[in-house]
Structure 1
Amino acid sequence: MTETTEYDVVVLGAGPVGENVADRTRAAGLSTAVVEAELVGGECSYWACMPSKALLRPVITRADARRTPGLADAVQGPLDTAAVLAHRDEVTAHHRDDGQVTWLESTGARLHRGHGRLNGPRRVTVTAPDGRTHHLTARHAVAVCTGSRARLPDLPGLAEAHPWTSREATSAERAPRRLVVIGGGVVGVEMATAWQHLGSRVTLLVRGDRVLPQMEPFAGDLVAEALRGAGAEVRTGTSVRAVTREADAVTVELGDGERVTADEVLVATGRAPRTDDIGLDTIGLTPGDWLTVDDTLRVPDHPWLYAVGDVNHRALLTHQGKYQARIAGAAITARAQGVPLLETDRWGAHAATADHTAVPQVVFTDPEVAAVGLSLAEAEAAGHRVRAVDYDLSSVAGAYLYADDYRGRARMVVDLDREVLLGVTFVGPGVGELIHSATIAVAGEVPLERLWHAVPSYPTISEVWLRLLEAYRG
């Protein structure tokens, strides 16, 4: 039996991005359908942000405790890995999405479970798990919020070796005795940190000359040093030639012919868009491609089509995707109501400008890395006349109280022509909570002469702002 239903808006994907698009369009009175083939709540809730941070939080808490006089001796033992994994399972609701479904339905959106594919302009065909099809028509907009998946390199034997991706790394039921991690980006270093402290012997293989290559060099240096200090082996400048699995062991052959054997191998070498089977060919677009959008998240030459979150490759971060969802929801609503965007855009509500200038990110390793905006190298490559101002975080009173042996560093990248910040990076225990102040400074283009009068509380690590500004003024 085939049924056709018309809505104002159809959303493909019920992760945090799709949920937020639907919430905004429903709040504006637009009828909205959401199509999801897996779990409502998406990658972040079950295989990425939430479970990974549930694995990392005990690691970071114990590390902080071990740096605290009067407490250090009490926390020298190993983590209770079984308890950590059990808490991870609670955080992910044991991969049940009942609560997320209840919330989505409370917005008034209609959930369609199944695989959704475009079938021409404004049309979506949903194939339900039982094989039945349902045709949806969108009066105003279709929003593609299907996210991204792990990208596996074309290595001989890799597919047959059944490697871990980020999904397996965050949902594993036990710690492998030996784990090889291929890739030194955020997923690679976070999962290397988690599993090394949960009982695995980790070998991290990095093709380039440092981990976290997109960030300031000192960030990767400090994270790699900490991983080595925890017992992990970090190899930079290392390529992988092939992977094989025999019985219960997997062997990774390196570019120089050396072989590394482990129980599991995690491949963390990037992401690919989930667009290969959503019907892009029916509207003249290429399946498997990232979708290009303008700042309202609309796909050029397709005035009814929006691509929001990872799928547009602007910023592959959950918080940026949710920000884009708010923008897209407002833009869809304004256009559906026939309201010119500029007339209602007092808050810049219809343009995702933060994707260009002020994208914040926290890497939840020990030490943490928090960054927003441009690195020094990126600012120079973009043609800005800049100056980097560095400060040793251990010299700040709040950091000294945080831990006797606190190690960290801060950098702000200053646009010398306008005297505003283009980027800020912090590395050290607890710095994740500093990044929103930096995001406000970068996004708001706060002049340094005004930032000078934003007085940090004493004694907190935030006092680093005063020290950076003092260093800049000379």
Structure 2
Amino acid sequence: MQVLKTKVLIIGAGTGGYVAGIRCGQLGLDTVLVDGGDGLGGTCLNVGCIPSKAIIHAASKFETVAKAAGGGTLGITAAAPAIDLSQTVAWKDGIVRKLNNGVAALLNKSKVKVIRGWATFSDAKTCTVGTDDGDIRITAEHVILATGSEPVELPFLPFGGDVISSTEALSLDAVPERLVVVGGGYIGLELGIAFRKLGARVAIVEMADRILPLYDKALTDPVAKWLERHGVELHLGARAGGFGDGKLSITTRDGEPMQLEADKVLVTVGRRPRTRGWGLENMGLAMDGPFVKVDARCATAMKNVWAVGDLTGEPMLAHKGSAQGEIVAEIIAGRDRVFDPVTIAAVCFTEPEIVSAGLGPQDIEGRDDVIQAVFPLAAIGRALAIEAGDDGGFVRVIANKDDHRLLGVQAVGQHVAEMSNSFAQMLEMGAVLEDVAGVIHVHPTLGEAFHEASLRALGHAIHI
């Protein structure tokens, strides 16, 4: 058996793992990265963030042409569109390959040794990696766990055949005529909306009383209205049952049994940390529920064993894992770093999009020491010029009443995802309403709504 010794061993090549690897290499640390999952870039690059946004983009283009064919839009007419989903998926796969190659080149540039295979730990600093060329035993001074997460499987709807996870949904070779989505969170809605735009008849089954239950109703109402206008069948407060003979059994809010016809059933009821199958039980780590417990330095209970990304808890977002991976690399190199962000902004790429950073209305309920203000996109010229002003979109700011320090920023509307970094930046820098109001925002842009919402909170919005 080949034996390797290294300064840093990273398990998992997702956004947390590969960023940690690159930064370790930049800092001159001898580093081995074991990729035993979805490939370089992990879930996000291969079967999550990137491919889903590619499919969503293609679906929106298809919908635009379909509107032009259905009587014209903006003076534009077109013939009825058709889609070969296999070609769309091939285009998506090309993007993934390009990014895979880019990550590989960056790791190579940083002199990180990449081993493709499944790692199994016998103790906290030793693992055996099964590769196509035989087993490799690796021991390390430092171990960074970045194993990511995996879709939750329902025992009565196991994945296989026509019951699929988001991974299979992104590689279908044809648009299903009837798609039932089990789970009304952001993954299910993003994909359900995309397939509706592509022409599928879509039904969504959600146990909660409304879609996207983690967001406040004002943010989700525009999405619910889009679903209603486009004929998406919503079953709220409902429970899914078994699937067979092309029908999914559900129990409605009223307790009535019902059968939904489906060519595919997409189960998106959440993700869980990938803690099984690689010897976690042999490492002596403390747990926090299903997650590995870490402190503000991403250190586990075992000395010189670190954990980043989805393995460490909510929010399970790629950009959180990347930030943690960078910090851990710098700590190992001797720098004094902690992971203590003011906010980690989240985006739902639904129709319309939703952004949330910092505190929301549900977090300040009952408080009288805060102010909040909303500015509608319907009053923004750029929004009207790109048909983004008539879906109920808005930007909302929440701030302390006494010193006007920003506590939270949310938005819903077309293309608002591109404002998320501005929201996070202002919160991270401790900005007050006057800071946002004092920035000369470019006209015409959607970002002007952030400016106007802040002015409105101060009592003197211009365009409303």
Give TM-score, length-normalised by structure 1.
0.88
- Counterpart residue type for residue 297 of structure 1: C
Q: Distance in 2 between matches of 1:222 and 1:415?
A: 27
Q: CA deviation at 1:250?
A: 4.1
Residues 437/384 of structure 1: CA separation in 2 closer, same or farther (3 Å cut)? farther
Match of 1:468 in 2: 453
- Counterpart residue type for residue 252 of structure 1: S
Q: CA deviation at 1:20?
A: 0.6
1:81 and 1:198 in contact (8 A); partners too: no
2:348 and 2:355 in contact (8 A); partners too: yes
Residue 401 (1) aligns with residue 388 (2): no
Residues 269/384 of structure 1: CA separation in 2 closer, same or farther (3 Å cut)? farther
Q: CA deviation at 1:187?
A: 0.2
Residue 115 (1) aligns with residue 118 (2): yes
Q: CA deviation at 1:417?
A: 3.9
Match of 1:263 in 2: 263
Out of 325-334 and 277-286, give the one that drifted further: 277-286
Q: Secondary structure at 1:14's aligned position in 2?
A: coil
- Counterpart residue type for residue 293 of structure 2: T
Q: CA deviation at 1:265?
A: 0.5
2:52 and 2:191 in contact (8 A); partners too: yes
1:298 and 1:304 in contact (8 A); partners too: yes
Give the % identical residues.
27
Equivalences, count:
448
Residues 13/183 of structure 1: CA separation in 2 closer, same or farther (3 Å cut)? same
Residues 175/468 of structure 1: CA separation in 2 closer, same or farther (3 Å cut)? same
Q: CA deviation at 1:43?
A: 1.1
Q: Secondary structure at 1:266's aligned position in 2?
A: strand
1:8 and 1:138 in contact (8 A); partners too: yes
Residues 117/353 of structure 1: CA separation in 2 closer, same or farther (3 Å cut)? same
Residues 245/102 of structure 1: CA separation in 2 closer, same or farther (3 Å cut)? farther
Q: Secondary structure at 1:118's aligned position in 2?
A: strand
Q: CA deviation at 1:320?
A: 1.7
Task: List per-residue Cα deviations over 1:94-114 (Å, max 9, x = no partner).
Answer: 9x9555434422321111121
Task: List per-residue Cα deviations over 1:122-161 (Å, max 9, x = no partner).
Answer: 212212245x32111112x10011100001233x354576
Task: List per-residue Cα deviations over 1:405-437 (Å, max 9, x = no partner).
Answer: 532122112122442111111111121112221
CA RMSD of aligned residues (A): 2.5
Residue 84 (1) aligns with residue 88 (2): yes
1:413 and 1:423 in contact (8 A); partners too: yes
Q: CA deviation at 1:266?
A: 0.7
Q: Secondary structure at 2:330's aligned position in 1?
A: helix
Q: Distance in 2 between matches of 1:98 and 1:51?
A: 15
Q: CA deviation at 1:61?
A: 4.6
Match of 1:51 in 2: 51
Match of 1:35 in 2: 34
Match of 2:290 in 1: 289
Q: Distance in 2 between matches of 1:75 and 1:421?
A: 47
Out of 444-453 and 175-184, give the one that drifted further: 444-453
Q: Distance in 1 between matches of 2:328 and 2:368?
A: 31
Match of 2:137 in 1: 135
Q: Distance in 2 between matches of 1:32 and 1:250?
A: 50
Q: CA deviation at 1:298?
A: 1.1
Q: Distance in 1 between matches of 2:79 and 2:361?
A: 39
1:188-337 alignment, distance < 5 Å: 188-240=188-240, 242-246=241-245, 249-255=246-252, 256-285=256-285, 289-299=290-300, 301-334=301-334
- Unpaired segments ≥5 residues, structure 2: 460-464
Out of 426-435 and 25-34, give the one that drifted further: 426-435
Q: Distance in 2 between matches of 1:179 and 1:114?
A: 35
Q: CA deviation at 1:404?
A: 7.6
Q: Distance in 1 between matches of 2:63 and 2:382?
A: 17
1:158 and 1:244 in contact (8 A); partners too: no
Structure 2 counterpart of 1:353, from 340, 347, 354: 340
- Counterpart residue type for residue 470 of structure 1: L
2:433 and 2:455 in contact (8 A); partners too: no
Q: Distance in 1 between matches of 2:157 and 2:93?
A: 31
Task: List per-residue Cα deviations over 1:316-349 (Å, max 9, x = no partner).
Answer: 1112211111111111211xxxx6x2xxxxxxxx
Task: List per-residue Cα deviations over 1:161-191 (Å, max 9, x = no partner).
Answer: 6621111111222111111001111101100
